[in-house]
Structure 1
Amino acid sequence: MKISNKTIDYRLKADDQNGTMHLIDDAADLQLPSIEKPTDTIKGAGILGEIDLPAYGQVGSMTFTVNSRADSAKYSMLSRPGPIKFEAVWVNDTFDSSGMSMKTQSNKVFMTGFNKKYDPGKVEVGGTADGSSEFEIVYYRKIVNGIETFLIDKLNGKYVVNGKDYMESIRAALA
């Protein structure tokens, strides 16, 4: 059995207007988007009570948050209008109980989003700025140990989990 433990380290990169990726080295922590589906409550004959059923293939707003220690030139570029591409990479350690060994797991997330909040933080003697930026994410792709495990591409109608594209038949029906 594999037991995941803590994050060892991470890096966040964001592109500038020219498409060059830059390390955002003042990031304190990241809050990855939560995947929430819009729901409708259905009730009626044959249903005992109500069912709050998720709408198939629909995903609510996905917000990515970068919390920062300080407002720097690289951090400030996250406030620009237009799409921003992100690459978050982190390594966590895992314990393999069958082999009684510690291993590492590589994680990568690629996102495209639009800045919707830029907070440079506060100015305080002896303190960090503790700012934050929020982004509306329209593209989210996760890779674990080199294998794509998750993809949501809102603008191209894709929802893929472990290689299965759940929107393929919808796109085909609309073609």
Structure 2
Amino acid sequence: MPERSERVIDYSVFKDGTLYLGTATADLPEITYLSDTIKGGGISGEVEAPAPGQTGAMTLTLNWRTSERAAVALLAPKVHSIDLRASIQGFDPSTNEYKEHAMKITVRARPLSMSMGNLEPAATMDSNNSFSVSYIKVTQDGIETLEIDKYNYIHKVDGIDYLAQTRTNLGL
């Protein structure tokens, strides 16, 4: 019987691989392919045709409990390297044992906005930073499962680079 994924045990947010940023929740990027509706002779109706390797804008939002110093520093108008490192809980029903798996999400992102949040007695401030993501890499238990690098024409899913031929065709 296959192992079942259950939850995120915990995770941490780091800048430049080593600087711990604080207590935050993260709204991870949504990956959507650019597409166009195809219709005409030889097609019975319409087909939504995605363009392999071409993705829409990706955003990352870090939600802070208070206004962290790190959140203000992330407003600097430059590319920031942000790592989200998680421990994922699984359960093996054949052995009745819990398993833990490492997940690391690395993004290169530029700041889009920062909300200072709210000031209210005995309450969280709920500040946040939003970023435009041009690079994302997901590694699970040391295995690269996803890498999208918009500026270098890389779009790898499970080790297959779906933009390799495009780079060759463009002379890159």
| Same-fold status (TM-score > 0.5) | yes
1:54 counterpart letter in structure 2: P
Cα deviations by residue, 1:95-150 (Å, 9 ceiling, x for unpaired): 12233321001100111000001112111111110011110000100100011111
1:66: Cα distance to partner?
0.3
SS at the partner of 2:56? coil
Equivalent residue number for residue 170 of structure 1: 166
SS at the partner of 2:53? coil
Equivalent residue number for residue 98 of structure 1: 94
- Whether the 8 Å CA contact 1:40–1:53 is kept in 2: the answer is yes
- Whether the 8 Å CA contact 1:26–1:75 is kept in 2: the answer is no
Aligned equivalents of 1:82, 1:46: Cα separation in 2: 48
Equivalent residue number for residue 24 of structure 1: 21
1:22: Cα distance to partner?
1.5
Aligned equivalents of 2:123, 2:96: Cα separation in 1: 43
**Residue 45 of structure 2 is aligned to residue 44 of structure 1:** no
What number of residue pairs does the alignment pair up?
Answer: 170
* Superposition CA RMSD, Å: 1.2
- Whether the 8 Å CA contact 1:26–1:71 is kept in 2: the answer is no
For 1:53-132, list aligned pairs within 5 A.
53-132=49-128
- Whether the 8 Å CA contact 1:9–1:92 is kept in 2: the answer is yes
Q: TM-score, normalised by structure 1?
A: 0.93
Aligned equivalents of 2:119, 2:28: Cα separation in 1: 26
Q: TM-score, normalised by structure 2?
A: 0.95
1:88 counterpart letter in structure 2: L
Q: 1:21 to 1:80 in 2, by over 3 A?
A: farther
Alignment gaps of 5+ in structure 2: none
Q: Which runs of 4+ in 1 moved over 6 A?
A: none
Alignment gaps of 5+ in structure 1: none
Equivalent residue number for residue 9 of structure 2: 8
2:160 counterpart letter in structure 1: K
